Amino acid sequence: MTKLFLVRHGQSTWNAANRFSGWVDVPLNKKGRQEAFQAAHKLSSYQIDVGFTSLLVRAIETIAICLTECEQVCGGRSPVFKHDADDPNWKGWDNYEGDHSQEIPIFTSRDLDERYYGNLQGLNKTETVQKFGKDIVHQWRRSFVTRPPGGESLADTAARTIPFFGDRIMKHLRDGDNVLVSAHGNSLRSIIMYLDHLDEQEVANLELVTGIPIVYDINAEEKVTSKIILN
């Protein structure tokens, strides 16, 4: 039995400003960092072996805080970010394997990035509702298949997150590692849809709170046996 931990990043500067973020790389604000600290303490009774995060700084900040604020979570080991890079300026250190008895690898991937909101990115959500109408904006935000103008639907997001989960994250769970994933509202909604066998209507009503860890127990048959939300 291994554990999978999912956490939506803490509040970002654009969350607070009620703006569509998508792929715009905005950081956590003060409240978001506090939420990440609180998430770290909620995870303090568990131990993490491997981390995964998107390439966006708000998710990276969150997992860094989660794995450095409480020593119990890391068991005295240091987190080390791993980059899929071919840039020769890395001098090969992007492939550094390290000593897993002393370090926790954190893998970064664009497949875990937030849903791409296209032409909505940067817009104020309230003003967007006033311009286009509540129903159409709700469809853009919550429908499984409807794309916002120039952007991704949740189905498009799932088409990259779920294969990544199966290929990369599940491999570590099969190997007995406890895995922490720090990502975004929509990239995590698509993974949760897969784990919880939600239909399109159920996932449309799924709301993830920033900084609240979700804990899954995964058995040897790769099935979810229990789920806890660490409110």
Q: Would you list which residues are annotated within the binding site for substrate?
A: 8-15, 21-22, 58, 114-117, 125, 141-142, 185-186
Q: Is 138 a catalytic residue?
A: no
Computed on alpha carbons and rounded to an integer, the radius of gyration of the chain in Å comes to 18
Residue type (1 letter), 62: T
Q: Which residues are annotated as a binding site?
A: 8-15, 21-22, 58, 114-117, 125, 141-142, 185-186
Catalytic residue among 35, 61, 69, 114: 114
Neighbours of 147 (CB within 10 A): 18
The Cα–Cα gap between 29 and 45 comes to 26
The set of long-range contacts for 222-230, using a CB threshold of 8 Å and a minimum separation of 24, is 222/170, 222/173, 222/174, 224/195, 224/196, 225/1, 227/196, 230/39, 230/42, 230/43
**Separation CA 88–CA 37 (nearest Å):** 35
Active site residue 114: yes
Contact status, residue 85 vs residue 111, Cβ threshold 8 Å:
no
Catalytic residues: 9, 114
